[in-house]
Structure 1
């Protein structure tokens, strides 16, 4: 985990309010397994600190994210952990209800607010490098988001391209297949298009584990064996990765590190005296390849 203190400082709340013991959490979509599992860890982290979590699902809607940042429709809380998908720095600087705030994720990379993120570029580089290490030379990437852009997808695609160029494995535009969302359905549809194109491939980096689950199912449907014919790796290391058939190799971010950093930073802001300058921190957590059967060559 890296911690980069910023020279920019934000002022903590102007007046001390009675503690409520409640922290709000804005999350894009709990149907996505990674967000559901991270929310569970955050709820447990809150409980361990004597706090309760108020979960607000945003669906990535811009106005909804702004409303939650401003406390619209919410009871009084001690602070906010926000996983934005469309919120901007301008939206945050215009908050009508400022208070302790920690941002999670890569959507807002630079801001005068404390921010905890995964190095998505590095996770995809690790994934691609792992496939190369088990002998893959024509590695596909399923996961750029063209019609519905995503900061995570963009960074992971860049990491894939970094590794392909560095390792000298095949660079072929036909190996790149876009998706509209990080879902198993999109992964399966993307694999069908890749297979139908006739483009040879022996490895697949999937933009997340949900996409990978769809890819695994469709590889079986078209008669390709994993990992003998095609090795597959995902990103996020959700719980179900251990139980797919075959078990899915995945790049695991330090989710517990995200939780610990989120509450450490939030509590630091909550404890600051009224009007105090609180240093802003940008924390990037580590990631590790968890090798399983889908790449066991």
Structure 2
């Protein structure tokens, strides 16, 4: 007997059945508070979009950064957000597993890949200008790293140099202190040397907040007062800045803006059909000085 029941209606095909819901994130160092906070925010905002973040710590190692870009050792993912430190444009154009990609930071400024960054040069200029506005005339900079160059630190140093020139601040080699790493321990070591050198200074711009915490400790150790004798500012505005002694003035990047822009641009690539000619986006988010007690003269 023939089955008289109507045939079940055919469901419309679901889009993106091959999507995993996973996005890889390559981050240099989760012990650095800025990267830890940015990663936490990325995880939170990705979750709100129904995405999971697969975190890969690269230590800035070139081979590891290339492996992550090529998906080596990773499960299938929908895309990659990469914060490179040694990766090159050539590495990215030779990717063996091309797919949606967004770069964060200034290491690769010009490329055929979408990237999101802050203007680190402008951030350091603003920090230096803020110190000048509270009466500093001899502003030191703690944070260039020639041994292992850092694009962000180089641009921050360039912003400091530009401000020194434009604002008529003291311009002496002894006011610039090299670091080997961007840590509080290194900030402490270098600031001790700066104090011991006898070079007078009444303000310090630090390449990041971690370095600034060490600088604050060295200044206190030397019996100097912050901000009365030396005003100090960092860059990045990590959460710990408000709990330093005294609370640290810092230049705050719009972390929310960075994260939302990165996820939006990545999703734009993910949902586009293969071969779509998408425009490359180069997005710069805002940063502003958050003045606290370390510069409140």
Instruction: Tell me the residue number matched to 1:251.
Output: 251
CA distance in 1, matches of 2:209, 2:36: 13
CA apart distance, 1:17: 6.8
Post-superposition CA distance 1:41-72 (Å, at most 9, x none): 10011101000000000000101000000000
Unaligned 5+ runs, structure 2: 1-15
Instruction: Tell me the residue number matched to 1:286.
Output: 286
CA distance in 1, matches of 2:70, 2:82: 11
Alignment of 1:264-275 (within 5 A): 264-275=264-275
Instruction: Tell me the residue number matched to 2:11.
Output: none
CA distance in 2, matches of 1:148, 1:26: 20
CA distance in 2, matches of 1:69, 1:100: 11
SS of the counterpart of 2:180? coil
CA distance in 2, matches of 1:134, 1:167: 13
Post-superposition CA distance 1:3-48 (Å, at most 9, x none): xxxxxxxxxxxxx770100000000000000000000010011101
CA distance in 2, matches of 1:253, 1:210: 15
CA apart distance, 1:75: 0.3
Instruction: Tell me the residue number matched to 2:95.
Output: 95
Structure that is richer in strand per residue: 1
SS of the counterpart of 1:130? helix
CA distance in 2, matches of 1:123, 1:148: 21
CA distance in 2, matches of 1:247, 1:175: 23
Instruction: Tell me the residue number matched to 1:42.
Output: 42
Aligned structure 1 segments of 4 or more residues deviating by more than 3 angstroms = none
CA distance in 2, matches of 1:289, 1:45: 25
SS of the counterpart of 2:66? helix
Post-superposition CA distance 1:225-280 (Å, at most 9, x none): 10000000000000000000000000001110000100110000001012111110
1:140 aligns with 2:140: yes
Alignment of 1:112-151 (within 5 A): 112-151=112-151
Alignment of 1:218-237 (within 5 A): 218-237=218-237
CA distance in 2, matches of 1:41, 1:202: 36
Report how many aligned residue pairs link the two structures: 282
Unaligned 5+ runs, structure 1: 1-15
CA distance in 1, matches of 2:263, 2:185: 34
Instruction: Tell me the residue number matched to 1:66.
Output: 66
Instruction: Tell me the residue number matched to 1:161.
Output: 161
Instruction: Tell me the residue number matched to 2:197.
Output: 197
TM-align CA RMSD: 0.7
Relative contact order: is structure 1 or structure 2 higher (C-alpha 8 Å, sep ≥ 6)?
1
Alignment TM-score, normalising by the size of structure 2: 0.94
- Which piece of structure 1 moves more, 226-235 or 17-26? 17-26
Which has the higher Rg, Structure 1 or Structure 2? 2
Alignment TM-score, normalising by the size of structure 1: 0.94
1:152 aligns with 2:152: yes
